Copies of this chain bind each other. A is one copy, B any other.
Amino acid sequence: MTHDEPSIALLWDTFTGYQRTAALKAAIELDVFTRLAAGAATIEALAVQCQAAPRGLRALLNHLVMDGFLTKDGERYGLGATAATFLDRGSPAFVGAAITFIANPAVTEGFSRLTEAVRRGGTAIPDNGAATPEHPMWVEFARAMAPIAAMTAQLLANLLDVEQVRVVGKVLDVAAGHGMFGITLARLNPNVQVTALDWRNVLAVAEENARAAGVATRFRTLPGSAFEVPFGDGYDLVLLPNILHHFDPAACERLLAKARAALAPGGRVVIVEFVADDDRSGPPDAVRFALVMLAGTPAGDVYTFAEYQRMLRNAGFERVTLHELPPSPARVVFAEH
Protein backbone atom coordinates (compact mmCIF):
# COMPACT_ATOMS: atom_id res chain seq x y z
CA MET A 1 0.00 0.00 0.00
CA THR A 2 1.06 3.61 -0.36
CA HIS A 3 1.04 5.78 2.73
CA ASP A 4 -0.62 9.17 2.39
CA GLU A 5 1.84 10.76 4.80
CA PRO A 6 5.63 10.59 4.44
CA SER A 7 6.76 7.71 6.64
CA ILE A 8 10.34 7.62 7.83
CA ALA A 9 9.39 4.32 9.49
CA LEU A 10 8.51 2.77 6.12
CA LEU A 11 11.78 4.03 4.69
CA TRP A 12 13.86 2.71 7.56
CA ASP A 13 12.04 -0.60 7.63
CA THR A 14 12.91 -1.06 3.96
CA PHE A 15 16.51 0.15 4.31
CA THR A 16 17.00 -2.49 7.02
CA GLY A 17 14.82 -5.25 5.54
CA TYR A 18 17.88 -7.40 4.92
CA GLN A 19 18.62 -7.32 8.64
CA ARG A 20 15.24 -8.89 9.45
CA THR A 21 15.96 -11.68 6.96
CA ALA A 22 19.38 -12.23 8.54
CA ALA A 23 17.95 -12.30 12.07
CA LEU A 24 15.37 -14.93 11.13
CA LYS A 25 17.94 -16.98 9.22
CA ALA A 26 20.32 -16.97 12.20
CA ALA A 27 17.55 -18.00 14.58
CA ILE A 28 16.55 -20.90 12.31
CA GLU A 29 20.17 -22.00 11.89
CA LEU A 30 20.68 -21.91 15.68
CA ASP A 31 17.33 -23.70 16.10
CA VAL A 32 16.16 -21.09 18.60
CA PHE A 33 12.48 -21.75 17.87
CA THR A 34 12.72 -25.50 18.41
CA ARG A 35 14.61 -24.96 21.69
CA LEU A 36 12.03 -22.46 22.88
CA ALA A 37 9.24 -24.91 22.01
CA ALA A 38 11.06 -27.53 24.06
CA GLY A 39 11.01 -25.28 27.11
CA ALA A 40 14.26 -23.30 27.13
CA ALA A 41 12.81 -19.86 27.85
CA THR A 42 15.69 -17.74 29.15
CA ILE A 43 18.83 -16.43 27.52
CA GLU A 44 20.91 -18.57 29.89
CA ALA A 45 19.06 -21.78 29.00
CA LEU A 46 19.12 -21.03 25.28
CA ALA A 47 22.83 -20.19 25.41
CA VAL A 48 23.54 -23.75 26.55
CA GLN A 49 21.07 -25.41 24.17
CA CYS A 50 22.00 -23.40 21.07
CA GLN A 51 25.72 -23.16 21.93
CA ALA A 52 25.63 -19.40 21.58
CA ALA A 53 26.82 -16.39 23.56
CA PRO A 54 24.23 -14.80 25.91
CA ARG A 55 25.23 -11.39 24.54
CA GLY A 56 24.56 -12.53 20.99
CA LEU A 57 21.26 -14.18 21.87
CA ARG A 58 20.05 -11.11 23.74
CA ALA A 59 20.39 -8.90 20.65
CA LEU A 60 18.87 -11.58 18.41
CA LEU A 61 15.90 -12.47 20.63
CA ASN A 62 14.88 -8.86 21.23
CA HIS A 63 14.97 -8.31 17.47
CA LEU A 64 12.73 -11.34 16.93
CA VAL A 65 10.26 -9.99 19.52
CA MET A 66 10.12 -6.73 17.57
CA ASP A 67 9.70 -8.64 14.29
CA GLY A 68 6.64 -10.50 15.61
CA PHE A 69 8.09 -13.99 16.02
CA LEU A 70 8.69 -14.15 19.77
CA THR A 71 6.95 -12.97 22.92
CA LYS A 72 8.75 -11.59 25.97
CA ASP A 73 7.54 -11.53 29.55
CA GLY A 74 10.18 -10.28 31.96
CA GLU A 75 13.24 -12.47 31.39
CA ARG A 76 11.29 -15.21 29.62
CA TYR A 77 10.89 -15.55 25.87
CA GLY A 78 8.20 -17.59 24.12
CA LEU A 79 7.00 -18.48 20.63
CA GLY A 80 4.47 -16.32 18.83
CA ALA A 81 1.84 -18.11 16.75
CA THR A 82 3.74 -17.83 13.46
CA ALA A 83 6.94 -19.22 14.95
CA ALA A 84 5.11 -22.02 16.80
CA THR A 85 3.42 -23.18 13.60
CA PHE A 86 6.11 -22.69 10.96
CA LEU A 87 9.51 -22.48 12.67
CA ASP A 88 9.58 -25.21 15.33
CA ARG A 89 11.07 -28.37 13.78
CA GLY A 90 8.63 -30.38 15.88
CA SER A 91 5.65 -28.77 14.14
CA PRO A 92 4.05 -30.66 11.20
CA ALA A 93 3.94 -27.33 9.32
CA PHE A 94 7.65 -26.54 9.80
CA VAL A 95 8.92 -24.64 6.76
CA GLY A 96 11.97 -22.95 8.29
CA ALA A 97 14.36 -24.83 6.03
CA ALA A 98 13.07 -22.71 3.14
CA ILE A 99 15.27 -19.86 4.37
CA THR A 100 18.36 -21.83 3.39
CA PHE A 101 17.19 -21.56 -0.20
CA ILE A 102 15.55 -18.13 -0.23
CA ALA A 103 18.57 -16.49 1.41
CA ASN A 104 21.08 -18.79 -0.30
CA PRO A 105 24.14 -16.91 -1.61
CA ALA A 106 23.29 -18.08 -5.14
CA VAL A 107 19.95 -16.23 -4.85
CA THR A 108 21.14 -13.23 -2.87
CA GLU A 109 23.98 -12.68 -5.34
CA GLY A 110 21.45 -11.69 -7.98
CA PHE A 111 19.96 -9.12 -5.63
CA SER A 112 23.38 -7.74 -4.77
CA ARG A 113 23.66 -6.90 -8.49
CA LEU A 114 20.08 -5.77 -8.92
CA THR A 115 20.83 -2.28 -10.25
CA GLU A 116 22.81 -3.82 -13.08
CA ALA A 117 20.05 -6.39 -13.69
CA VAL A 118 17.49 -3.59 -14.06
CA ARG A 119 19.81 -1.81 -16.50
CA ARG A 120 20.25 -4.83 -18.71
CA GLY A 121 16.81 -6.42 -18.19
CA GLY A 122 18.14 -9.74 -16.91
CA THR A 123 20.45 -11.25 -14.32
CA ALA A 124 23.86 -9.65 -13.83
CA ILE A 125 25.29 -12.86 -12.39
CA PRO A 126 28.05 -14.17 -14.70
CA ASP A 127 27.29 -17.40 -16.64
CA ASN A 128 23.53 -16.80 -16.38
CA GLY A 129 23.22 -17.69 -12.71
CA ALA A 130 21.67 -20.99 -11.82
CA ALA A 131 20.58 -21.81 -15.38
CA THR A 132 23.59 -24.12 -15.81
CA PRO A 133 23.46 -27.94 -15.72
CA GLU A 134 23.65 -29.56 -12.28
CA HIS A 135 23.99 -26.19 -10.51
CA PRO A 136 24.23 -27.11 -6.80
CA MET A 137 21.62 -24.49 -5.93
CA TRP A 138 18.92 -26.86 -7.16
CA VAL A 139 19.91 -29.54 -4.69
CA GLU A 140 19.58 -26.93 -1.96
CA PHE A 141 16.23 -25.94 -3.47
CA ALA A 142 15.00 -29.54 -3.49
CA ARG A 143 15.90 -30.05 0.16
CA ALA A 144 14.77 -26.67 1.45
CA MET A 145 11.48 -26.31 -0.37
CA ALA A 146 10.14 -29.87 -0.06
CA PRO A 147 7.97 -29.09 3.02
CA ILE A 148 6.25 -26.12 1.36
CA ALA A 149 5.94 -28.04 -1.92
CA ALA A 150 4.35 -30.97 -0.09
CA MET A 151 1.54 -28.70 1.09
CA THR A 152 1.03 -27.22 -2.38
CA ALA A 153 1.11 -30.73 -3.89
CA GLN A 154 -1.63 -31.88 -1.54
CA LEU A 155 -3.77 -28.91 -2.61
CA LEU A 156 -3.11 -29.76 -6.26
CA ALA A 157 -4.07 -33.40 -5.64
CA ASN A 158 -7.34 -32.19 -4.12
CA LEU A 159 -7.97 -29.97 -7.14
CA LEU A 160 -7.28 -32.93 -9.46
CA ASP A 161 -9.50 -35.08 -7.22
CA VAL A 162 -6.74 -37.60 -7.70
CA GLU A 163 -7.97 -40.24 -5.28
CA GLN A 164 -11.21 -40.58 -7.24
CA VAL A 165 -9.80 -40.45 -10.75
CA ARG A 166 -8.93 -43.98 -11.76
CA VAL A 167 -7.70 -43.10 -15.22
CA VAL A 168 -4.70 -41.20 -13.84
CA GLY A 169 -1.82 -43.49 -14.60
CA LYS A 170 1.36 -42.22 -16.18
CA VAL A 171 2.60 -38.90 -14.78
CA LEU A 172 5.63 -36.98 -16.00
CA ASP A 173 7.03 -34.47 -13.47
CA VAL A 174 9.25 -32.02 -15.38
CA ALA A 175 11.93 -30.28 -13.33
CA ALA A 176 10.70 -32.36 -10.44
CA GLY A 177 13.20 -31.02 -7.88
CA HIS A 178 12.19 -32.56 -4.56
CA GLY A 179 9.68 -34.62 -6.56
CA MET A 180 6.86 -33.82 -4.16
CA PHE A 181 4.23 -33.09 -6.82
CA GLY A 182 4.49 -36.49 -8.50
CA ILE A 183 5.18 -38.31 -5.24
CA THR A 184 2.05 -36.90 -3.62
CA LEU A 185 -0.11 -38.08 -6.53
CA ALA A 186 1.49 -41.52 -6.33
CA ARG A 187 0.94 -41.72 -2.59
CA LEU A 188 -2.76 -40.91 -2.96
CA ASN A 189 -3.49 -43.11 -5.97
CA PRO A 190 -1.90 -46.56 -6.41
CA ASN A 191 -2.41 -46.42 -10.19
CA VAL A 192 0.00 -43.53 -10.57
CA GLN A 193 3.42 -44.22 -12.10
CA VAL A 194 5.74 -41.21 -11.89
CA THR A 195 8.60 -40.29 -14.19
CA ALA A 196 10.64 -37.47 -12.65
CA LEU A 197 12.92 -35.36 -14.81
CA ASP A 198 15.66 -33.10 -13.43
CA TRP A 199 19.43 -32.84 -13.12
CA ARG A 200 20.98 -36.07 -11.84
CA ASN A 201 22.20 -34.52 -8.57
CA VAL A 202 18.72 -33.16 -7.83
CA LEU A 203 16.97 -36.47 -8.60
CA ALA A 204 18.92 -38.10 -5.78
CA VAL A 205 16.89 -35.93 -3.39
CA ALA A 206 13.62 -36.81 -5.15
CA GLU A 207 14.44 -40.52 -4.90
CA GLU A 208 14.99 -40.18 -1.16
CA ASN A 209 11.59 -38.53 -0.88
CA ALA A 210 9.93 -41.24 -3.00
CA ARG A 211 11.37 -43.95 -0.76
CA ALA A 212 10.25 -42.08 2.36
CA ALA A 213 6.72 -41.85 0.91
CA GLY A 214 6.67 -45.58 0.10
CA VAL A 215 6.25 -45.06 -3.67
CA ALA A 216 9.80 -45.88 -4.84
CA THR A 217 8.62 -48.84 -6.97
CA ARG A 218 6.35 -46.51 -8.97
CA PHE A 219 8.95 -43.75 -9.32
CA ARG A 220 11.50 -43.66 -12.13
CA THR A 221 13.91 -40.89 -13.03
CA LEU A 222 14.99 -39.19 -16.24
CA PRO A 223 18.19 -37.19 -15.68
CA GLY A 224 19.09 -34.18 -17.84
CA SER A 225 17.74 -30.99 -19.37
CA ALA A 226 13.99 -30.75 -19.98
CA PHE A 227 14.81 -29.23 -23.36
CA GLU A 228 17.05 -32.11 -24.46
CA VAL A 229 16.02 -35.40 -22.85
CA PRO A 230 13.26 -37.31 -24.71
CA PHE A 231 10.11 -37.38 -22.54
CA GLY A 232 8.65 -40.64 -23.87
CA ASP A 233 4.90 -40.67 -24.46
CA GLY A 234 1.48 -41.81 -23.32
CA TYR A 235 1.35 -39.63 -20.20
CA ASP A 236 -2.00 -38.80 -18.62
CA LEU A 237 -0.50 -35.79 -16.88
CA VAL A 238 2.59 -33.73 -17.57
CA LEU A 239 3.37 -31.61 -14.50
CA LEU A 240 5.27 -28.36 -15.03
CA PRO A 241 5.62 -27.10 -11.48
CA ASN A 242 7.59 -23.86 -11.10
CA ILE A 243 9.70 -24.29 -14.19
CA LEU A 244 8.29 -22.08 -16.96
CA HIS A 245 9.11 -18.86 -15.06
CA HIS A 246 12.81 -19.47 -15.74
CA PHE A 247 12.44 -18.98 -19.50
CA ASP A 248 11.23 -16.52 -22.11
CA PRO A 249 7.93 -17.22 -23.93
CA ALA A 250 9.61 -18.79 -27.00
CA ALA A 251 11.44 -21.33 -24.81
CA CYS A 252 8.25 -21.97 -22.81
CA GLU A 253 6.40 -22.71 -26.04
CA ARG A 254 9.07 -25.21 -27.13
CA LEU A 255 8.76 -26.98 -23.78
CA LEU A 256 4.95 -26.93 -23.93
CA ALA A 257 4.93 -28.38 -27.45
CA LYS A 258 7.26 -31.12 -26.28
CA ALA A 259 4.95 -31.79 -23.31
CA ARG A 260 1.94 -31.97 -25.61
CA ALA A 261 3.64 -34.53 -27.83
CA ALA A 262 4.25 -36.69 -24.75
CA LEU A 263 0.59 -36.71 -23.65
CA ALA A 264 -1.86 -39.51 -24.28
CA PRO A 265 -5.11 -38.45 -25.99
CA GLY A 266 -7.25 -36.79 -23.31
CA GLY A 267 -4.21 -36.04 -21.21
CA ARG A 268 -3.33 -32.58 -19.89
CA VAL A 269 -0.50 -30.41 -18.73
CA VAL A 270 -0.62 -28.97 -15.25
CA ILE A 271 1.30 -25.73 -14.74
CA VAL A 272 1.88 -24.66 -11.13
CA GLU A 273 3.13 -21.07 -10.87
CA PHE A 274 2.71 -17.62 -9.45
CA VAL A 275 0.45 -16.09 -12.09
CA ALA A 276 0.40 -12.29 -12.31
CA ASP A 277 -2.77 -10.25 -12.69
CA ASP A 278 -3.18 -8.67 -16.13
CA ASP A 279 -1.57 -5.36 -15.14
CA ARG A 280 1.18 -7.12 -13.12
CA SER A 281 0.50 -5.08 -10.00
CA GLY A 282 -0.58 -8.17 -8.03
CA PRO A 283 -0.89 -10.54 -6.35
CA PRO A 284 2.02 -9.68 -4.01
CA ASP A 285 3.79 -13.03 -4.37
CA ALA A 286 3.78 -12.67 -8.15
CA VAL A 287 5.12 -9.11 -7.99
CA ARG A 288 7.85 -10.24 -5.61
CA PHE A 289 8.75 -13.25 -7.70
CA ALA A 290 9.04 -11.23 -10.90
CA LEU A 291 11.94 -9.38 -9.28
CA VAL A 292 13.49 -12.68 -8.16
CA MET A 293 13.42 -13.79 -11.81
CA LEU A 294 14.90 -10.52 -13.02
CA ALA A 295 17.69 -10.73 -10.44
CA GLY A 296 18.53 -14.37 -11.05
CA THR A 297 17.70 -15.42 -14.61
CA PRO A 298 18.62 -14.18 -18.10
CA ALA A 299 15.03 -14.05 -19.39
CA GLY A 300 12.69 -15.56 -16.81
CA ASP A 301 9.49 -13.86 -15.69
CA VAL A 302 6.17 -14.22 -13.95
CA TYR A 303 3.51 -14.53 -16.65
CA THR A 304 -0.12 -13.49 -16.72
CA PHE A 305 -2.87 -15.97 -17.51
CA ALA A 306 -3.36 -14.28 -20.89
CA GLU A 307 0.31 -14.93 -21.64
CA TYR A 308 -0.02 -18.60 -20.63
CA GLN A 309 -3.09 -18.91 -22.83
CA ARG A 310 -1.15 -17.54 -25.80
CA MET A 311 1.85 -19.81 -25.21
CA LEU A 312 -0.36 -22.87 -24.75
CA ARG A 313 -2.38 -22.18 -27.89
CA ASN A 314 0.81 -21.61 -29.89
CA ALA A 315 1.94 -25.01 -28.60
CA GLY A 316 -1.30 -26.64 -29.84
CA PHE A 317 -3.32 -26.90 -26.63
CA GLU A 318 -7.05 -26.28 -26.22
CA ARG A 319 -9.31 -25.68 -23.24
CA VAL A 320 -6.95 -23.68 -21.05
CA THR A 321 -8.25 -22.96 -17.55
CA LEU A 322 -6.93 -21.09 -14.47
CA HIS A 323 -7.45 -22.33 -10.91
CA GLU A 324 -6.69 -20.94 -7.46
CA LEU A 325 -5.07 -23.14 -4.84
CA PRO A 326 -6.00 -21.52 -1.52
CA PRO A 327 -4.41 -20.95 0.93
CA SER A 328 -1.31 -21.32 -1.25
CA PRO A 329 -0.35 -18.27 -3.34
CA ALA A 330 0.36 -20.64 -6.24
CA ARG A 331 -2.08 -20.86 -9.12
CA VAL A 332 -2.69 -23.74 -11.53
CA VAL A 333 -3.19 -23.71 -15.28
CA PHE A 334 -4.70 -26.81 -16.94
CA ALA A 335 -4.51 -27.33 -20.70
CA GLU A 336 -5.84 -30.29 -22.64
CA HIS A 337 -4.12 -32.19 -25.43
Contact = CB atoms under 8 A, between A and B. Distances in A.
A22 interface: yes
B20 A14 contact: yes
Interface string A109-123: 001101101111110
Given A56-B119, A80-B3, A114 B281 contact: no
Contact of A15 (B1, B99, B118): B99
Contact of A84 (B6, B25, B293): B6
Interface stretch (A193-201, A221-229, A283-291): A283-291
Contacts of A281: 62, 65-66, 72
Which of the four size classes fits the interface of chain A?
35 or more
Contacts of A7: 68, 81-82
Given A8-B86, A62-B280, A280-B58, A108 B285 contact: no
A22 to B, nearest CB: 4
Given A22-B112, A103-B18, A290 B11 contact: no
Given A15-B21, A18-B17, A281-B72, A66 B287 contact: yes
Copies of this protein, total = 2
Contacts of A62: 280-281, 287, 290
Nearest to A74: B279
A130 interface: no
A158 interface: no
A238 to B, nearest CB: 28
A189 to B, nearest CB: 28
B14 A21 contact: yes
Given A56-B118, A63-B290, A68 B1 contact: yes
